[in-house]
């Protein structure tokens, strides 16, 4: 299916690594022009090399999305370079530590909220005026099913993502009249660098055998008996960002192998 993304301009936050990087390459492969945002210049460079290798076009959009002024400048620069921003994918998020709530410092909790929730709000605030002026735009925000059903050791991260979900629904009601769609893609467990880093720490504390046994138990609670892959998330995001999804807004699509059916 041709998603009609060729020539579209997409800004993806947190696309210097992980799922965001995978999405950036996937959009580029569809012919989109990709503004690669991350706080890491090295990560951006890596993503741009991957985009070039895929035959796509991209540009650097480095900034800290918790800085409102910096975000405004980033969006203005990207819009000047390509004439507009058609699609905004808010993917950037931080989980400082996979730990119980009381084991985290207030500073860690604040960082998770500032990046995950306020960062998303900042980017939408900057991108919306141009979309409204052109009467066209697609906003896709990345959440997590932890925000929908709760998850121990991810309490504040889940709370911040829950805020993203509520904010998306409200924005969808405000800007639908301007032909702007706003939706949420909500992954379950996904084989990403973030998840793999957590598993590595668990192997150090529990041992590889016990972690392998735990992983088998995890898979059994998924009807599809598998952990998601990054391409599963990217495929859903590309669809939500396309005009194939023109009559879908304010919705949350879980990409979770049936773990939670909400």
Domains annotated for the chain, with CATH where assigned, are: 9-188+229-255 (3.40.50.720)
pLDDT for the residue 233: 98
**Does residue 219 carry a pLDDT above 80?**
yes
Confidence band (pLDDT; 50, 70, 90) for 1? low
Give residue-wise pLDDT tens across range 3-46.
Answer: 999 999 999 999 999 999 999 999 999 999 999 999 999 999 99
Query: Which is nearest to 4 in space by CA: 109, 87, 99, 108?
Result: 87
Count the residues in the chain: 262
* pTM higher than 0.85: yes
Report d(CA 101, CA 157) in Å as an integer. 10
| Contacts for 75 with CB less than 8 Å, ≥ 6 apart | 11, 85, 123, 126, 127, 130
What 99-106 contacts at long range (C-beta under 8 Å, 24+ apart), as own/partner pairs, is 99/153, 100/152, 100/153, 100/155, 101/155, 101/156, 104/156
**Catalytic residue positions, numbered:** 157
The residue with tokens 């808010």 is 90
| Contacts for 184 with CB less than 8 Å, ≥ 6 apart | 140, 141, 142, 143, 164, 165, 168, 251, 252, 253
Residue 9 CA, distance from chain mean position: 16
């Amino acid at each position: 299916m041709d998603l009609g993304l060729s020539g579209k301009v997409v800004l993806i936050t947190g696309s210097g690594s992980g799922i965001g990087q995978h999405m950036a390459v996937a959009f580029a492969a569809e012919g989109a022009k990709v503004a690669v945002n991350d706080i890491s210049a090295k990560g951006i460079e890596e993503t741009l090399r991957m985009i070039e290798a895929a035959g796509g076009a991209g540009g650097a959009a480095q900034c800290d999305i918790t800085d409102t002024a910096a975000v405004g400048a980033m969006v203005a620069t990207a819009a000047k370079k390509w004439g507009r921003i058609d699609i905004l994918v808010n993917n950037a998020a931080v989980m400082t530590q996979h730990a119980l709530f009381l084991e985290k410092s207030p500073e860690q909790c604040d960082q998770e909220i500032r990046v995950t929730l306020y960062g998303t709000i900042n980017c939408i605030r900057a991108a919306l005026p141009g979309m409204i002026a052109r009467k066209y735009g697609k906003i896709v925000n990345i959440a997590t099913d932890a925000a929908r059903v709760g998850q121990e050791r991810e309490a504040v991260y889940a709370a911040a993502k829950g805020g993203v979900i509520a904010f998306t629904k409200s924005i969808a009601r405000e800007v639908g009249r301007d032909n702007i769609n706003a939706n949420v893609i909500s992954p379950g467990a996904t084989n990403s660098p973030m998840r793999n880093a957590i598993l590595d720490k668990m192997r150090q504390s529990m041992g590889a055998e016990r972690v392998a046994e735990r992983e088998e138990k995890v898979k059994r609670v998924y009807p599809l008996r598998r952990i998601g892959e990054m391409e599963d998330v990217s495929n859903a995001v590309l669809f939500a960002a396309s005009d194939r999804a023109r009559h879908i807004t304010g919705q949350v699509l879980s990409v979770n192998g049936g773990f939670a059916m909400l």
